[in-house]
Structure 1
Amino acid sequence: MGMTDVLIVGAGPVGMAGAIELHRRGASVRIVDREGARTKLSKAVGINSQTLELLEPSGLTERLLAAGIRIARANLHFDGKPLVTLNLDRADHRFNFILALPQSATEGILEAALAERGVTVERETEMVAFSRHADSVTVSLRGPSGEGEAIAGRVLGADGPRSAIRQGLGIPFTGARYEETWSLADVTLDWPYGYREVNLFLHANGALLFTVPIAPDRIRAISQTDNALALLPSGSVVRETHWQSTFHVALRQAERYQDGRCFLAGDAAHVHSPAGGRGMNLGIWDACAFASRHAAGTLDGYTAERHAIGARILAITDRMFRVARLKPGIAQSARNLVMRHVVPIPAIQRRIAPQLLGIER
């Protein structure tokens, strides 16, 4: 039985992006997932500028751009009245927009690119145990044909918030859950705002609704209340509901992202609020950084790099969420005053836009 350079557990966007980048850099890779097929759900829908930049050398960016919707404006409203418009294209970057694309489509593009490289996602294959050695990791797998073992130089856990890799390593996942029950809905509707911009509807009582186009005739609505559709603005008529769900959101981070030859990326390492659309993008950044460090022989520095970046992004998303859900009082009034009179200034927008696009310098 030969040894694979890297075994990736989890074939979502993070795991597949990592597999593509590792293969591009000359590593042998296997990728397994316990599900029988990639997701059919929209899930994560925003691809930011940095992700487009990171995936460009592999040829993925061109494919993603061809499939997605480029969004260059974000409109903020308060109690049904316009508050401010953010022009994302003021950012000095060639990808000065958010690319809206359902996760199901993103995964399809990634899996096709992997197949072209001769890498097949091994589905219905679960990691049931692993043991670490000085120069390798032995992984017990249970798949369609029964149980077997794989030997890898490194293991990358991209297996989500309940990561079996993280739990097997005994790495604490510290933080807390937000108290709200969140909801989302993917709908086709008639409404005043079209399908080319994102909208954030703030309310005096602290409720918020965020909408983003995910197809030429479909938007994603998400709220920190239990019924996102109840917050749609006046004049909205839902024609078809494609998917609805409620969920809870937590702010958690693994205390370290590596232990010996085992590493974590994506939701296995960090979870946070949807504010800013950074979740999948931060995970893909983890995976690309892992691939780069693997090729350079500098994996010892992976946690120091990624944990600090993850902590910063988690803090940003938490702050954005807390500002958006402010309830009546001085803080809410001050926020709205700044939004109306300061944020529209072109120089301010040029500073804000890169942050919203995930552009890192």
Structure 2
Amino acid sequence: MNAAALPDRTEVAIVGAGPTGLALAVTLASAGIDFVIVDRLAEGANTSRAAVVHARTLEVLGELGAAQELIARGVQVARFAVRDGSRKLLTVPFDGLPTPYPYTLMVPQYETESVLLARLRALGGEVHRPYEVGSVVQGEDGVTLTMSNGETLRAGYAVGADGMHSAVREASGIGFTGSAYAESFVLADVLMDWAPGRSEVSLTFGAAGLAVVAPLPDGHYRVVVTVDDAPARPTLDFVQQLLDERTPGLARVSGLVWASRFRVHHRVADHYRAGRLFLAGDAAHVHSPAGGQGMNTGIQDGYALGRAFATGHLDGYEAQRRPVAQRVVAFTDRMTRMATTRSAPARTARNIALPLLGRLGLRTKIATELAGINYR
């Protein structure tokens, strides 16, 4: 059912009500700018998907009045550990970072969306569902969005926060430069006994590929593993087998809450603006899940674009945010390739270099990059 009737016109049309679109909507609502946000789903997704909220994103959510509620729903993790099998190579601490939020917050994406939606409603806003955008046409004086049901919405500007296969980006003609990784990824939320415990996010390298394990609320763990060709519906036994290969002796899975398979691209839009059309979040950049950067970068995009509308500095949005995406894509690509290399000499060199990096004091630099506080 539609949460609210679709009006005829607005100043800013937001396509997509994931974390990026909601962050933009809350920012606009806080600034008193008229907007309409539409989403093709009848209700928000209830799977956990992105689960990492870094310090800079919590700073942004604090500005939007949404940080404390989200923190109450998540698990605070103060360090990031890198292993090869069961051997620890490097520990990256967050607890010394110059931020009010010196940790990584582990919380399912549906909780992040729930908190942002509640904040939007508190400000008098609402998401219009289900509205799938069929066409986007811009002219000199505005943008016309035609929904798949034939309804139209006129807007001064339109923002694509509608993901990798963005209808707004397609209408804009903006290129999406990059390519796909050869590997597929298995993503699973599980119940398990995990020897390193719930006080760290663990990134484990191995000849068979990458495994990430992180605590979630309710005693769950998030597992992300690279696989040459994962099954469409990973089973508990399959996840256990992967962890036995990548993290020998560390994991015993007792329950599978949710699992999926996905393939990952690394791409950045050639521009973030084409006339009256703007891009944000996965419509503007996609990259490896290594380091948990995707949703964080999107929420920060939404906030920055909302502030650009509020201050009238729209030309500054691309200049501010596109270099961040380029840096994040490059950083996560390096992490992924380093973690998934099949070359024995390269793995040996990596396993020698990482402990040295820790002793050379680069741990804080890595923590700062992961936390996103370079991008204030």
Under TM normalisation by the shorter chain, which class is it? Answer: over 0.9
CA deviations over 1:24-64 (Å, ceiling 9, x no partner): 11201110001011011000000111111112122111111
- The CA deviation at 1:141 is 2.4
- The CA deviation at 1:228 is 4.7
CA deviations over 1:163-219 (Å, ceiling 9, x no partner): 01111122221211111121111100123122232111211x151100111213101
Cα distance in 2 for residues equivalent to 1:311 and 1:59: 29
Cα distance in 2 for residues equivalent to 1:176 and 1:206: 22
Normalised by the length of structure 1, the TM-score is 0.94
CA pair 40-88 structure 1, distance change in 2 beyond 3 A = same
* 1:238 aligned onto 2:253: yes
Residue in structure 1 matched with residue 32 of structure 2 by the alignment: 26
* 1:293 aligned onto 2:304: no
Counterpart AA for 1:118? G
Cα distance in 2 for residues equivalent to 1:189 and 1:253: 36
* 1:169 aligned onto 2:175: no
- Indicate if the aligned counterparts of 1:69 and 1:196 stay in contact, CA closer than 8 A: no
Counterpart AA for 1:295? A
Residue in structure 2 matched with residue 189 of structure 1 by the alignment: 192
Cα distance in 2 for residues equivalent to 1:76 and 1:129: 46
* 1:65 aligned onto 2:71: yes
Cα distance in 2 for residues equivalent to 1:216 and 1:99: 14
Residue in structure 2 matched with residue 357 of structure 1 by the alignment: 371
Which range moved further: 18-27 or 166-175? 166-175
- The CA deviation at 1:81 is 2.0
Query: Residues 230-309 of structure 1 correspond to what in structure 2 (within 5 A)?
Result: 230-232=241-243, 233=247, 234-309=249-324
Runs of 5+ unmatched residues, structure 2: 1-6, 231-237
Cα distance in 2 for residues equivalent to 1:156 and 1:163: 10
Normalised by the length of structure 2, the TM-score is 0.90
Counterpart AA for 1:66? A
Identity of aligned residues (%): 38
Cα distance in 1 for residues equivalent to 2:19 and 2:98: 27
Which range moved further: 107-116 or 11-20? 107-116
- Indicate if the aligned counterparts of 1:222 and 1:228 stay in contact, CA closer than 8 A: no
Cα distance in 2 for residues equivalent to 1:307 and 1:237: 41
- The CA deviation at 1:2 is 5.8
Cα distance in 2 for residues equivalent to 1:340 and 1:75: 11
- SS of 1:42's partner is coil
* 1:215 aligned onto 2:217: yes
Counterpart AA for 1:230? Q
RMSD: 1.7
Cα distance in 2 for residues equivalent to 1:137 and 1:2: 12
Counterpart AA for 1:244? A
Cα distance in 1 for residues equivalent to 2:204 and 2:365: 22
CA deviations over 1:106-143 (Å, ceiling 9, x no partner): 1111111111111111111111122212222122124x
Cα distance in 1 for residues equivalent to 2:173 and 2:287: 21
Runs of 5+ unmatched residues, structure 1: none
- The CA deviation at 1:19 is 0.2
Cα distance in 1 for residues equivalent to 2:268 and 2:239: 27
Cα distance in 1 for residues equivalent to 2:222 and 2:58: 21
Deviating 4+ runs (over 6 angstroms)? none
- SS of 1:94's partner is coil
Residue in structure 2 matched with residue 96 of structure 1 by the alignment: 102
- The CA deviation at 1:12 is 0.4
- Indicate if the aligned counterparts of 2:92 and 2:364 stay in contact, CA closer than 8 A: no
CA pair 328-139 structure 1, distance change in 2 beyond 3 A = closer
Cα distance in 1 for residues equivalent to 2:272 and 2:217: 35
- Indicate if the aligned counterparts of 2:137 and 2:144 stay in contact, CA closer than 8 A: yes
* 1:334 aligned onto 2:337: no
- The correspondence for 1:10, drawn from 11, 16, 24, is 16
* 1:152 aligned onto 2:167: no
- Indicate if the aligned counterparts of 2:54 and 2:104 stay in contact, CA closer than 8 A: yes
- Indicate if the aligned counterparts of 1:206 and 1:324 stay in contact, CA closer than 8 A: no
Cα distance in 1 for residues equivalent to 2:61 and 2:82: 30
Cα distance in 2 for residues equivalent to 1:34 and 1:73: 37
Cα distance in 1 for residues equivalent to 2:218 and 2:134: 42
* 1:343 aligned onto 2:345: no
CA pair 328-128 structure 1, distance change in 2 beyond 3 A = closer
- SS of 1:244's partner is strand
- The correspondence for 1:314, drawn from 322, 329, 343, is 329
Cα distance in 2 for residues equivalent to 1:305 and 1:76: 31
Cα distance in 2 for residues equivalent to 1:237 and 1:228: 10
Counterpart AA for 2:326? A
Residue in structure 1 matched with residue 233 of structure 2 by the alignment: none
- Indicate if the aligned counterparts of 1:253 and 1:311 stay in contact, CA closer than 8 A: yes
Counterpart AA for 2:183? E
Which range moved further: 207-216 or 300-309? 300-309
